[in-house]
Chains A and B, each alone.
Chain A
Amino acid sequence: AQTVTQSQPEMSVQEAETVTLSCTYDTSESDYYLFWYKQPPSRQMILVIRQEAYKQQNATENRFSVNFQKAAKSFSLKISDSQLGDAAMYFCAYRRTGNQFYFGTGTSLTVIP
């Protein structure tokens, strides 16, 4: 069974600093996709970044980047120059070939002014 683990229920970061959210997953597949979603207090789920397992290069979207370690089955999210608007719940998600997504339990990020 595929599982996604986010071991940090809560994290905090000073505004303008960098924070890393961790995610590990369990799979026997070699081809799959990984995602980070953000859920602010508005509760809208927003895609932050995605990574294809066959790509060795880590994905980057502006201030958001990932550290994808395929052998270790690790997919951490780094947020640089944190802003107040980054405060949200962050979910790591996994999808192998097929339609089912598996979500982690989320990390609540607080940004301290």
Chain B
Amino acid sequence: DTAVSQTPKYLVTQMGNDKSIKCEQNLGHDTMYWYKQDSKKFLKIMFSYNNKELIINETVPNRFSPKSPDKAHLNLHINSLELGDSAVYFCASRQTSGGSGNEQFFGPGTRLTVL
């Protein structure tokens, strides 16, 4: 019944490694997002896809590459991990048409720790 799910929930890895975080939503939404929440709890948007098309691409190192195989999935691949990449990464989704407010629904977050 989980609306927005992320795997894994925890990820501990060494500097220089490549890792992926997966996100899936079963709400039928057409737009998905990736956010980074740092140690001070600041939420920063990274990417957004609408119907598999990239629509928001904030200033993020090109080591981060999102991929949306379909509108229910948005994965985040990170190359050459650095210490500063340690954070909680949230996936979110929303429906851009109809309804009121079209708020975002968030996944449970993935805590990434780079050693």
Which A positions have Cβ atoms within 8 angstroms of B?
A: 33, 35, 37, 39, 42-47, 50-52, 89, 91, 95, 99-101, 103, 105-106
Q: List 30 A-B contacts (CB under 8 A).
A: A33-B101, A33-B102, A37-B106, A43-B108, A43-B109, A43-B111, A44-B106, A44-B108, A45-B92, A45-B104, A45-B106, A45-B109, A47-B104, A50-B101, A50-B103, A51-B101, A52-B100, A52-B101, A89-B41, A95-B102, A99-B31, A99-B48, A99-B50, A99-B55, A101-B33, A101-B104, A103-B43, A105-B40, A106-B41, A106-B43
Q: How large is the interface on B (under 10, 10 to 19, 20 to 34, 35 or more residues)?
A: 20 to 34
| A39 (CB) vs chain B CBs: closest residue | B41
Judge whether B96 is part of the interface by a CB distance below 8 angstroms: yes
Residues from chain B with Cβ under 8 Å of A47 in the complex: 103-105
- Give Cα A63 to B101, complex, Å: 20
Give per-residue flags for B45-80: 1 if the beta carbon is below 8 A from chain A beta carbons, else 0. 100101000011000000000000000000000000
Interface of A is mostly: strand
Residues from chain B with Cβ under 8 Å of A52 in the complex: 100-101
Residues from chain A with Cβ under 8 Å of B56 in the complex: 99-100
Min CB distance A15 to B, Å, is 24
Min CB distance B57 to A, Å, is 11
Interface of B is mostly: strand
Residues from chain B with Cβ under 8 Å of A33 in the complex: 101-103
Min CB distance A3 to B, Å, is 13
Judge whether B90 is part of the interface by a CB distance below 8 angstroms: yes
| A44 (CB) vs chain B CBs: closest residue | B108
| B94 (CB) vs chain A CBs: closest residue | A99
With known contacts A43-B88, A44-B108, A100–B102 Cβ distance under 8 A: no
Residues from chain A with Cβ under 8 Å of B109 in the complex: 43-45
Min CB distance B10 to A, Å, is 11
Residues from chain A with Cβ under 8 Å of B55 in the complex: 99
Residues from chain B with Cβ under 8 Å of A105 in the complex: 40-42
Could you tell me if A35 and B43 are in contact, using CB atoms closer than 8 angstroms?
no
With known contacts A43-B88, A43-B108, A43-B109, A101–B102 Cβ distance under 8 A: no
Min CB distance A52 to B, Å, is 6
